[in-house]
Structure 1
């Protein structure tokens, strides 16, 4: 098991709203590529807030 195997969004810049889209898209592609069942994406939002998403691969 590896955490963040493909690096982060800093290299792609930080346009508004891109981080969440990139995280979910990368997560879905990695779940398919690795034939994984579950994936977790987390993101800090600022002011002590955060968000998390669990994705299940049903394919």
Structure 2
């Protein structure tokens, strides 16, 4: 059984962001404008995205059968 995935793309610069937001971007596998990362749709990842929601775009990908 596959879980739903989130495709996260950084669309804004992290210049001026605080250390916590920078650390969250790194934990998500981002750090530069245009980079993308695919992560499972979990509560932990959703919490991380809430921290940097002004810097990223999120796309939900349906689970494959």
TM-score by length of 1: 0.30
TM-score by length of 2: 0.29
Structure with the largest fraction of helix:
1
* Larger RCO, structure (CA 8 Å, separation 6 or more): 2
